[in-house]
Chain A
Amino acid sequence: MPFALSQTDKQTIHGCLLAFFPKLTLHNYEVTSPCTDAYNCIAMAADDITKRWWPTDPRSFTGRDYYWPEGIPREPSKLSFALAFVRLGYEACDSDAYEPGFEKVALYVNDSEIPTHMAKQLNLGIWCSKLGNEWDIHHETLQVLHSETYGHVAQIMKRKIPLGCKR
């Protein structure tokens, strides 16, 4: 069933989002799901909405609260995230433009080059992001989420859409 918000709710959520993402306008994104903390942005980019993904060290403070693919370094670095998505069939690419037959993901990093967020490109070039524990949104460009919270896009990766898979 499509997720629908009343105008009042849209305005309230927009006010909340605008404080963190000043480049969002009421016309360049849409909220597409209710809040849930069952998965996070990395998991969503990996097509996994059953768990939260992050390269935490199992011995660390946040230990087993997150899943990370076996054998990929458990450190919050661009390399670690890239390797996790290479494992899923992605390769580095230079452009965020839509390419028929391919799906893309984008990695955001902060000023210290630490990963903060990932977005996934849907059909026809619209991007999808899971915002923390809150809503999924569809957004027109990656730049609308450039902010102090998420930083900037550092890496784009793409893979061929598996045969028989609808996007």
Chain B
Amino acid sequence: MSAQPAGVAGPSEGFLAGDAQYLHRTSLDEISELAGSTEFNIEAYRRALLDSLSVLVDIQRIPALWHLGLGASFSWRPGESVVSIRPSQQVEETFRHLAERWRTETMFQSSPTAKFMHPLYLQIIGMGRDIVPLLLREVQEESGQWFLALRSITREDPVKPEEAGQVRKMAESWLCWAREQGYSV
């Protein structure tokens, strides 16, 4: 493949890394470059087009990548069904700040209304899909406080009725869902 944007390698090199801004531009930039070249090589153009399309098709099979936030970065190995996603630093810092304040203000509450109707928790939900990888990381680290946020943002509910209240089982259901969606957890 021709010159890549910074931080991106072609699929033939075995490891595709980049950020959301490059996800689609990569293919179009390369194809444009080849098409505009004075030494146009149709075979190289065809190969680049097919390579890019196959990467795009593979990526399209991973739901976790459908909602990449602005500035998020990801790393993915072609052929694998999971992707490691990292929200932008600003998103992560905002989430951590809100989460820590929320935890401090509600740490001794047992009432779900007091905990999850708290303005800070609602602000966290309002951050949307960008923070799903962060919430999944919290679940993986054995925090049972984010199921409602995950449910609200993703509009999914993988928890079985018989698991009600059993934090570890509920966490495992969410992590199972995450792996099916292509999140690396």
**Contact between chains at A54 and B108 (CB < 8 Å):** no
| Residue from the set B151, B163, B164 with the largest chain A CB neighbour count within 10 Å | B164
A116-B111 CB under 8 A given contacts A38-B144, A61-B148, A133-B145: yes
Q: Which of A42, A58, A64, A133 contacts B107 (CB 8 A)?
A: A133
Query: Does B112 have its Cβ within 8 Å of any Cβ on chain A?
Result: yes
* Whole-angstrom CA separation of A64 from B148 in the bound complex: 10
Query: Does A53 have its Cβ within 8 Å of any Cβ on chain B?
Result: yes
**Contact between chains at B112 and A54 (CB < 8 Å):** yes
Q: Which residue of B lies closest to A65 (CB)?
A: B147
A61-B167 CB under 8 A given contacts A54-B111, A115-B111: no
How many chain A residues have a CB neighbour from B under 8 Å?
35
What residues of chain B lie closer than 8 Å to A41, measured between beta carbons? 110
**Contact between chains at A51 and B164 (CB < 8 Å):** yes
**Contact between chains at A132 and B168 (CB < 8 Å):** no
Query: Does B106 have its Cβ within 8 Å of any Cβ on chain A?
Result: yes
Proximity string of chain A (76-101) to chain B, C-beta cutoff 8 Å, 1 when within and 0 when not:
10000000000000000000000000
The A interface, classified by DSSP as helix, strand, loop or mixed, is: loop
What residues of chain B lie closer than 8 Å to A65, measured between beta carbons? 112, 147-148, 159, 164-165, 170
Q: Which of B161, B163, B165, B168 contacts A53 (CB 8 A)?
A: B165
Rounded to whole Å, the gap between the CB of B154 and the closest CB of chain A is: 14
**Contact between chains at A64 and B166 (CB < 8 Å):** no
Query: Does B113 have its Cβ within 8 Å of any Cβ on chain A?
Result: yes
Query: Does B109 have its Cβ within 8 Å of any Cβ on chain A?
Result: yes
What residues of chain B lie closer than 8 Å to A114, measured between beta carbons? 111
Near B by CB (< 8 A), chain A positions 113-147 give: 114-117, 130-134
What residues of chain B lie closer than 8 Å to A61, measured between beta carbons? 112, 116-117, 148
Rounded to whole Å, the gap between the CB of A145 and the closest CB of chain B is: 9
Proximity string of chain B (122-143) to chain A, C-beta cutoff 8 Å, 1 when within and 0 when not:
0000000000000000000001
What residues of chain B lie closer than 8 Å to A21, measured between beta carbons? 108
**Contact between chains at B165 and A67 (CB < 8 Å):** yes
Q: Which of A43, A64, A66, A117 contacts B161 (CB 8 A)?
A: A64
Q: Which of B110, B116, B167, B170 contacts A116 (CB 8 A)?
A: B110
Rounded to whole Å, the gap between the CB of B113 and the closest CB of chain A is: 7
**Contact between chains at B166 and A132 (CB < 8 Å):** no
**Contact between chains at A132 and B165 (CB < 8 Å):** no
Listed in ascending order, the chain A residues whose CB lies under 8 Å from chain B are: 16, 20-21, 37-38, 40-43, 50-54, 56, 58, 61-67, 76, 114-117, 130-134, 149-150
